[in-house]
Amino acid sequence: MKVSMDKTIRAMSIALDLAQMSSKYDSFNGNDPVIENITNINYSDHRFIHHSQRTTYIALEIANYLKLSDDFKKQLYVSALLHDIGAATFLSQSHSANLFIKEHCELGNKITKSFPYFHDISKIILYHHENFDGSGAMGLKGDMIPLESQIIRISDLIELIYNENISNYQQKNNIILWIKQNSKKIFSKTIANAFLGSASSDMFWLNLQNIDFIDFILDETHPKLNMFMDLHEFEAISKIFANIIDNKSKFTATHSKGIASLAYLVSKFIGYPEEKCHEMKIAGLLHDIGKLSIPLYILDKNGSLSTEEFGIIKSHAYYTRIILNKIGDIPNISKWASNHHEKLNGRGYPQGLKADELSEECRIMAVCDIYQALTENRPYRNGMSSEKAFNIMDEMVSGGFICDHALNHLKEAISNLSNLGSYEDYITVSYNPEMK
């Protein structure tokens, strides 16, 4: 298997933007104080679906104007697409914008330290909210701030200020004036002038306006990575995003990793080839990536969901399909991951597929997800014992919801774990290389 690094990062940036969109409906305020001081724009007024990609476009235009090297632009490209990776997970909810910004920069730095190939992006992401005068989140000042971070800072703010609901004619001059006023304050004079140079063409503003063509626009402007990951490298990135997914809510701290372990375990038990076992593990790691689009108040609700809330939470499987299909090189993993809520009787979601449309792998993923969910603590109940979970799942087989063969494979695979003591021990060993 060869998976495009470029397409993977682009797809994951969409997941991060969906996470920011969902945060608008939660109680904490992540507004940048700079934004609040200069405009009445609020995060609740901003559509984040293309935030990372449009920020990246602006950053690359500035880098091109400065005639920076291809290697520099590659680091900038990846850093800009992932700059808000620390904002997608569970944060303090302290209602303090400054603390939120500091936390998500520090967490983004921590997460990306283990990113394959692009190890230097962690420092860039750590300092992407610094102001040139030292008033930023970490207090770094002047040229102590990495140049990539400075470029992302101005690009991020411009993207947030830019209002796609009004014409370029109405807002272009106001944005340019604000940049000039904040030269040597928020931005260095060099960076401010580079933006002004980039923004002097009609093409720049038309590209900002026509965000529906962002893939085409980035294809024209971004440095070609020409990098492909093997299965194990892609699994490493999948684990990074599984941690982000699981840590969004305190009630799902091991959910994706647990399903990944179960899927791998059952696949080994059935006798799938080792490569396919790892593909099933990756599908488990990424099956809930669409859940980044779900507001935390729904994920953590202590009680029954309303009809509207349940409709929102069901959409996560749809977004999983959209994100993973964007990668293009993993059609099987995408299908297995996004079909985990489909049911044999056609009463699942989001497609309402029936038995003859669901492969053995999809059926295995479904039973692994149900078992993991039933045995985990949730806001409204404690986790069940394996015995009780299997009793409920037996009833689901009788009702035509899930596959009896897949369930039996799961039961037999778990019962064969006696040498490890428990399924929980299996997860620990699977995700701690020192214990293998």
- pLDDT tens digit sequence for 32-70: 666 655 544 444 455 677 899 999 999 999 999 999 999
Q: How far is Cα 345 from Cα 324, in angstroms, rounded to an integer?
A: 25
Q: What is the CA radius of gyration of the chain?
A: 23
Q: How many CB atoms lie within 10 A of CB 217?
A: 21
Q: Tell me the C-alpha to C-alpha distance, in Å, between residue 177 and each of 134, 158, 172, 182, 192.
A: 22, 12, 9, 9, 11
Q: How far is Cα 216 from Cα 225, in angstroms, rounded to an integer?
A: 16
**Residue of 177, 113, 107, 114 whose CA lies nearest to 137:** 107
In tens, the pLDDT along 155-206 reads 999 999 998 888 888 889 999 999 999 998 999 999 999 999 999 999 999 9
**DSSP classification of residue 378:** B
Sign (positive or negative) of CA dihedral 312, 316, 321, 326: positive
Where do the domains of the chain lie?
Answer: 3-221, 233-435
Could you tell me which residues come within 8 angstroms of residue 6 by beta carbon, excluding any fewer than 6 positions away?
222, 224, 225, 227
Let me know if domain 3-221 sits in CATH 1.10.3210.10: yes
Which two three-digit tokens encode residue 421? 């003591």
Q: How far is Cα 16 from Cα 26, in angstroms, rounded to an integer?
A: 16
Identify the three-state secondary structure at position 187.
strand
Question: Does residue 307 register a pLDDT over 50?
Answer: yes
Judging by beta carbons within 10 Å of its beta carbon (0-12, 13-18, 19+), is residue 315 exposed, middle or buried?
middle
Q: How far is Cα 374 from Cα 397, in angstroms, rounded to an integer?
A: 15
What is the model's pLDDT at position 25?
A: 59
**Residue of 218, 280, 274, 266 whose CA lies nearest to 423:** 266
pLDDT band at 414 (very low <50, low <70, confident <90, very high): very high
In tens, the pLDDT along 86-118 reads 988 755 544 457 778 898 999 999 999 988 888
Judging by beta carbons within 10 Å of its beta carbon (0-12, 13-18, 19+), is residue 41 exposed, middle or buried?
middle
Q: Are 126 and 84 in contact (CB under 8 A)?
A: no
Q: Are 163 and 169 in contact (CB under 8 A)?
A: no
Euclidean distance between the first and final Cα of the chain, in Å?
Answer: 25
What is the model's pLDDT at position 65?
A: 98
Q: How many CB atoms lie within 10 A of CB 101?
A: 22
The hierarchical CATH code for the domain 233-435 is 1.10.3210.10
Question: Does residue 425 register a pLDDT over 70?
Answer: no
pLDDT band at 14 (very low <50, low <70, confident <90, very high): very high
